Structure formats: structure tokens, C-alpha cells
Amino acid sequence: MLFKKFTSAAGGKHFFHTSKSTKAVVIAITLSLWLSACSSNPTVDESKKNSVSAALVTGESIVDEDIAQGNKAPAVNLYLQQQATKPIPVPDNVLKDYQQAISLMKDKKWQQAQSLFDQVILAQPQLSGSYVNKAIIVKEQGKLIQAQVLLDRAITVNNLNLYAHHLQGQTYRLQGQFDKAEQSYLAALAIWPDFSEAQASMAILLELYRGRLLDAHGYYRSYLLLNSNDEEVKRWLAGLEIKIKRAGLDVPTVDKSAPKLVEPEIIKAAVELKLDEPEVDDQTGAVNHTQEEKS
């Protein structure tokens, strides 16, 4: 899915605003950075644990979604709606630093990227994406407590930053705080019910760490409604259904005529300019023999 970024210069600043396209309103482009790798041939459960990774946030934005499937309207993304209705003025020099920091992150030049994000935060402390991107960096370095502090700050600055909530859930999971991880994923989905990466993370958390197989089944189904070509997740779902049967439970049936299971629709993400949103082309990574990354 391609995202377009529309900005207008005014008084040396860029204002992130919406423009009508044939499909949706777009405010910024989002690029995905998947910071994880798959092992060669792990067990399905082990691979699931590593399959959902963090995405970079490149701008405060609204996404141009392609609603390609289903007959119902997509779920409202409160975060993108916020970015569309409340444009944030960003000076040219800050925008340049932010974009350069994103580029450095893609090259895994963490220290240089952090320094630039610090400059952006000093100039524009209200841009939550800077904190999220810094959290991604320290999480990659194994500094989970620091990541948590940065994510708490991002959510304080903008509690509708669904990417901050999602990454917070991943960080909690890595620390074994599964209750908090679940609450963070639910917070992200409350902001955008069609956030497929959060759906996948919830499914993995519930299956592998909470033992709630039937609930996990619903989230996998919701994810697949939005990502019908993800063969890896299909295999995960098939494996889960085997677990459900072995547990003496009935596999939930799918009512083709009913709306959806866990309230999803079609998605892809954009971020507060990450310039405030460390978002990046929200591609949900594969699910299956890399499940841990997705969670």
C-alpha cells in the first residue's frame, strides 16, 4: 500500500493537513522498519514469539487506506482522525532532522538517530513519534526499562498514539508482564479496531502466554480478514485449531454473513509525523514460524 505525504509551506513551517483523494485522507507517508529476524527452522510457537516487530514512525499522519475487501465501512482510526483535524506546524529544520533520524534508524545507526531525535524533542516536545522511535532504538538494544519510560512519555503527550500502545504491549510481554501487555494491545485496538498488527500480537499473547485459545482464535480470524494472503498466519491458525480440538473444545465456526469477529477491517498505518509518529508503513510482518516477532 502506498502512502502519500501532502504538506504545504507557510511561514517556514510545514502544516500536516488532509487532502481528499479518491479513497481517503492522507497526511503523511509511513515507512515500515521491521527490526527482527526469523530463525531458520524454529518450532511454530517459538517463531510466533518473534514475529511482530516494531515499526518506525515517520510523521503525524492520516493514512490512505485501500478498503479492498468486505462490504462494511472500515473502522475509524481515532489517531489518524486526530492528525487530520489537528494539524501540527513543524519548522523546516525540525522536519529535516526528523526525516534524517528516520533514515539513520533504517541504517541502524542508533546513536546518531537518537541524537537527532533529542534535537527534535527539544524543539517540538509535543511530537509523540520522536519518543516512540527512541523507544524502538533502546528496545533493539535490550534496554526495556528505558523503552518503557519513553513509551509512557509518548502516551502522556498523545494518548491516541496507537503505535506507542502497541510497542508498549510488546515491551511488557518481553518483561513477562502479560496482563499489562494485554491491556496495552487492547488500548491500541480501542483506538483503531482494524489495527492488524495489534490483532496478531493479541492472538499470539493469548495463545502462547495466556492459554486462552478460543479468544486467540478470534483475533487470528480478525487479522486474516484484513490480511487474507498471509499464509504464515493461516498456518498458525490451523495449528491453534489443532490445540483447541486436543483440549476437547469446539473450534469456533465462522459465520460468513456476520460482520467480523474481533472488530477489524482493513488497515495499514500512518504516524504522527512521527515527526511525531514513528510509524512506518505498517506492514504486519509474517506470522507463523516467526510468531514471537509478531507479538
User: For residue 119, how many other CB atoms are within 10 A of its CB?
Assistant: 17
Residue spans of the domains in the chain: they are 7-67+78-192+268-294
How many angstroms separate the CA atoms of 128 and 144, rounded?
Answer: 18
How many angstroms separate the CA atoms of 212 and 203, rounded?
Answer: 9
How many angstroms separate the CA atoms of 30 and 27, rounded?
Answer: 10
Instruction: Pinpoint the alpha helices (H) of the chain.
Output: 44-48, 78-85, 92-106, 110-123, 128-140, 144-157, 162-174, 178-191, 196-204, 213-226, 231-246, 291-294
Query: Which whole number is the average pLDDT over 185-201?
Result: 98
Query: Which whole number is the average pLDDT over 50-70?
Result: 47
The confidence band for 70, taking pLDDT boundaries of 50, 70 and 90, is very low
Domain 7-67+78-192+268-294 part of CATH 3.40.91.50: no
Of 72-86, 150-164, 206-220, the one with minimum mean pLDDT is: 72-86
Query: Which whole number is the average pLDDT over 75-87?
Result: 92
Which candidate, 80, 74, 79, 78, places its Cα nearest to that of 260? 74
pLDDT, tens only, 144-192: 999 999 999 999 999 999 999 999 999 999 999 999 999 999 999 999 9
pLDDT, tens only, 258-284: 444 444 333 333 334 433 333 333 333
| pLDDT above 90 for 62 | no
- Between 222 and 88, whose confidence is greater? 222
- Between 10 and 139, whose confidence is greater? 139
Please report the pLDDT score of residue 29 as a whole number.
25
Percent of the chain exceeding pLDDT 70 equals: 62
Q: Which three cell numbers stand for residue 87?
A: 494539524
How many angstroms separate the CA atoms of 81 and 77, rounded?
Answer: 6
pLDDT, tens only, 125-149: 999 999 999 999 999 999 999 999 9
Predicted TM-score (pTM) of the model is 0.71
